[in-house]
Structure 1
Amino acid sequence: MPPYYRLAVDATLEELQTNAEQGLSAPEASRRLEEHGPNRLPTKSGSSLLQIIISQFTNILVLILIAAAAVSLLVGDVKDVIVILVIVVLNAALGTYQEYQAEQALAALSAMQVPLVRVRRAGEVKQVNAHEVVPGDIVMLQEGDRVPADGRVIESHNLQIEEAALTGESQAVFKKADVLDKDDVPLGDRANLVFMSTSVTYGRGAMAVTGTGLNTEIGKIAALLMEVEDTETPLTKRINQLSRYLVIGAIGVVIIVFLAGALRGIPLTQMLLTSISLAVAAVPESLPAVITISLSLGAARMVERNVLIRKLPAVETLGSVTTICSDKTGTLTKNEMTATLLALPGHDDVNVSGIGYSAEGTFKLANGEPLDPKADAAVGRFLKAMALSTDAYLEYDNQGEVNVVGDTTEGALLVAAQKVGWTRPQLEQDLPRVGELPFSSERKAMTTIHEPRDAETGRLF
């Protein structure tokens, strides 16, 4: 079968055995859910509390300390036994607490509310859990939605989707239902397909689900990540190497001291106890505790910077990184656009300061002279028109961070107006929208029509 981007809408629906107007029936949707499984990406199960506790005693250095405590008990040195066991238990308790807290935090993140999706089932539009979406479902998309699965576009009304999570491109892509009659079209150029975990920034449309869970493009990436094997960190390798040297050295001390005493005629029992005592003394009892405390302090500092450390040795591993290979968008950059220059006919260019979606910024002319958009009619009118002719809006989270819901370019224009103190809802109180010509690839423009509420506003525009 050819890829879905080469199939017409009717052929796609026929292949998926679904109907654009009716969608799937409830029994058929249940059958496909049983066949294909939930629409979720697999994750490695977290460690239980018992597994975390046991893992604290698998370190070679800790095992050496336990062995040293046992030997000390045999030779009757109770004080050493108590000291060593206290260190081992405190070390295990600290490591268990840190890792268990991280596991609980990760579990809480995984249990966050699953989004609802609007699908057409038995001719009616219903909201279902995103995990219950199956191949053949007809999903309705609108501005602000997150695409729940891979699918073929069957209806598009100026539909634009931001695919940075998959392709790294911050600019939204126009989606259409037309056939792409080409071979080997790159992922980012498949304009009639939509992909899981991408976001609708503009317009509306409908898609026929073609793949869910691991059978999606993002699912393929998740499957590759699941294949990555756990390896020892640089710190763990060095500790294990040191532990081996200590074991070899301790055994060497036992043999040399024992043979030297035996050759001098000292009783064998006495020499055996003496040799073992020297071997125990060679073990650095406090080293595991020092390492665990240092790593815990590092993990605490990382949490303050919103970085969750699941395994303590990973703190040191991060410091050992020499080369980072990363995609630009969302890592080196924040996937935020900023309006930095206003170019008006018959007016000097205006530079706008500020970074990202922060409302802090100033307006200056090219010669550095400050400018007040409220006092400059041309600049003020331009900024208000930019803010009014958008469909995006700004959202604030609990930390006061700004998120743009909608097109990122429109978000940058809204932020530019907000630097003056103007927001779209406030402006629309005086200039309510009464009509619009939506953005289209043919016009390459969006036009909104507003009715002035008072004479002064009408005069301004």
Structure 2
Amino acid sequence: MSAANTGAAAAVAPEPRWGLTQREAEARRVRHGPNTLTREQPRSAWLFLGRQFRSGMVWLLLGACGVAALLGEGADAVAIATIVVLNALVGFLQEYRADRAVLALRALTAPSARVLRDGVSAVIPASQVVPGDALVLEAGDVVAADARLLSAHALLTLEAALTGESTPVDKQVGALPDTTPLAERKDRVFMGTSVAAGTAVAEVTATGMDTELGRIAHLVRTAQEPQTPLQQRLEGVTRMLLVLCVAVGALVAGLGLARGQAGVELLLAAVALAVAAVPEGLPTVVTLALAVGVQRMVKGHVLVRRMQAVEALGAATVICTDKTGTLTQGIMEVREVWPPESTQRVLE
């Protein structure tokens, strides 16, 4: 154990009765499972490719391609097929690369925790922390599980990731009821938060998906993905085009029958007009526009896993937030004083 770690443990005066024996920890790990959050499994490339064909507009184009091929319009069929394939490839490459990048970032983190085992401070993988363990915390540590403070010395934690509060939260030993609002539980530390200052020893009360962070992870995993405004409008355009194609075909067929034309010729003319009404370039234009938006966000160090999210973000007109400022840098500082006459007094 390094001198710094020894000092941290001494500052909070850990007692021999705190923590677990190695045998108890093994038994609890079997009972409670690993201290990890359930994450979605890596998705295959085929799944990303299949997602590019869920749009009604794409299926309308595929139908037009098939009809053109049946009518002997090979050039039109090849052109439409090429547009559909290019559109799918652009969307696939953008989303698949972003997903791989997110997985790579997760792999960079190998969290660990300092606990008391058999009365001795030891560093173990965070996944091996179990309920009843005594966490030894110091400035810079990331809390490995939800825990109740046994001892604390000038402890401040950053809980912005959990509660949105950008300023450090003062923590003290106490016995607040479990019904206390999350942001007011001064006697607890939570998984995923970090220690800004001070030292402490805390008894683990929940691990993995039973933690507050685990509950949030469950909500995220079970949340439905609604269609973006652009997707809704494209679906509306697709339905309108289908109705238009059928109406045009019926009108042409009716006029032809009134003039005494042959049935086969009328069918070919009606289908040809319906195919011509399909805007083959629309999906490609939309996909390329979203791809350009994704690339601009990448330059700002933002990973976009679904291209449609770019359009949804651009459609936002009002952002509702609170005083914490965690949507920016999480830093509250004076930028301007009003009225200007007060500037000198503030500086003094």
TM-score by length of 2: 0.86
The Cα of 1:282 is off from its aligned counterpart by 0.8
8 Å contact from structure 1 (residues 149, 211) kept in 2: yes
| Residue of structure 2 equivalent to 1:120 | 116
In structure 2, which of residues 329, 337, 343 is the aligned counterpart of residue 334 of structure 1? 329
The Cα of 1:327 is off from its aligned counterpart by 4.0
**C-alpha distance in 2, partners of 1:306/1:235?**
24
Q: Rate the CA distance shift 1:152–1:177 in 2: closer, same or farther, 3 A.
A: same
8 Å contact from structure 1 (residues 33, 132) kept in 2: yes
1:133 aligns with 2:129: yes
The Cα of 1:22 is off from its aligned counterpart by 5.9
1:275 aligns with 2:266: no
The Cα of 1:260 is off from its aligned counterpart by 1.7
Which residue type is aligned with residue 67 of structure 1? Answer: G
The Cα of 1:244 is off from its aligned counterpart by 0.8
Q: Rate the CA distance shift 1:20–1:268 in 2: closer, same or farther, 3 A.
A: farther
Between stretches 330-339 and 149-158, larger displacement belongs to 330-339
CA-to-aligned-CA distance 1:7-52 (integer Å, 9 cap, x gap): xxxxxxxxxxxx9536223333233223222222233334321011
**C-alpha distance in 1, partners of 2:178/2:219?**
25
8 Å contact from structure 2 (residues 68, 74) kept in 1: yes
8 Å contact from structure 2 (residues 19, 117) kept in 1: yes
Structure 1 alignment gaps of length 5 or more: 1-18, 341-348, 353-365, 367-461
Q: Rate the CA distance shift 1:261–1:152 in 2: closer, same or farther, 3 A.
A: same
Between stretches 104-113 and 77-86, larger displacement belongs to 104-113
1:250 aligns with 2:245: yes
Pick the structure with more helix per residue.
Answer: 2
**C-alpha distance in 2, partners of 1:304/1:327?**
28
- Which residues of 2 match residues 383-402 of structure 1 at below 5 A? none
In structure 1, which of residues 153, 156, 160 is the aligned counterpart of residue 152 of structure 2? 156
8 Å contact from structure 1 (residues 22, 124) kept in 2: no
| Residue of structure 2 equivalent to 1:190 | 185
**C-alpha distance in 1, partners of 2:92/2:206?**
40
**C-alpha distance in 1, partners of 2:170/2:244?**
69
8 Å contact from structure 2 (residues 134, 201) kept in 1: yes
| Residue of structure 2 equivalent to 1:223 | 218
Which residue type is aligned with residue 336 of structure 1? Answer: I
The Cα of 1:107 is off from its aligned counterpart by 1.1
In structure 2, which of residues 52, 60, 83 is the aligned counterpart of residue 64 of structure 1? 60
The share of aligned pairs that are identical, in percent, is 42
CA-to-aligned-CA distance 1:365-419 (integer Å, 9 cap, x gap): x6xxxxxxxxxxxxxxxxxxxxxxxxxxxxxxxxxxxxxxxxxxxxxxxxxxxxx
Which residue type is aligned with residue 138 of structure 2? Answer: Q
Which residue type is aligned with residue 261 of structure 1? Answer: G
Select the structure of larger CA radius of gyration: 1
Between stretches 261-270 and 39-48, larger displacement belongs to 39-48
CA-to-aligned-CA distance 1:339-375 (integer Å, 9 cap, x gap): 99xxxxxxxx8988xxxxxxxxxxxxx6xxxxxxxxx
| Residue of structure 2 equivalent to 1:103 | 99
Q: Rate the CA distance shift 1:87–1:184 in 2: closer, same or farther, 3 A.
A: closer
| Residue of structure 1 equivalent to 2:76 | 80
| Residue of structure 2 equivalent to 1:55 | 51
8 Å contact from structure 1 (residues 296, 312) kept in 2: yes
**C-alpha distance in 2, partners of 1:315/1:173?**
34
8 Å contact from structure 2 (residues 160, 326) kept in 1: no
Which residue type is aligned with residue 284 of structure 1? Answer: P
The Cα of 1:212 is off from its aligned counterpart by 1.2
**C-alpha distance in 2, partners of 1:234/1:338?**
36
The Cα of 1:330 is off from its aligned counterpart by 4.7
**C-alpha distance in 1, partners of 2:74/2:266?**
20
Between stretches 327-336 and 103-112, larger displacement belongs to 327-336
**C-alpha distance in 2, partners of 1:332/1:51?**
32
The Cα of 1:193 is off from its aligned counterpart by 1.5
| Residue of structure 2 equivalent to 1:29 | 25
1:44 aligns with 2:40: yes
Q: Rate the CA distance shift 1:24–1:272 in 2: closer, same or farther, 3 A.
A: same
8 Å contact from structure 1 (residues 32, 135) kept in 2: yes
Q: Rate the CA distance shift 1:31–1:109 in 2: closer, same or farther, 3 A.
A: same
**C-alpha distance in 2, partners of 1:241/1:40?**
43
Moved over 4 A (4+): 337-340, 349-352
Q: Rate the CA distance shift 1:119–1:281 in 2: closer, same or farther, 3 A.
A: same
**C-alpha distance in 2, partners of 1:43/1:148?**
17
| Residue of structure 2 equivalent to 1:305 | 300
The Cα of 1:134 is off from its aligned counterpart by 1.1
| RMSD over equivalenced CA pairs, Å | 2.4
**C-alpha distance in 1, partners of 2:165/2:124?**
30
Provide the aligned length of Structure 1 versus Structure 2.
Answer: 326
Q: Rate the CA distance shift 1:254–1:318 in 2: closer, same or farther, 3 A.
A: same
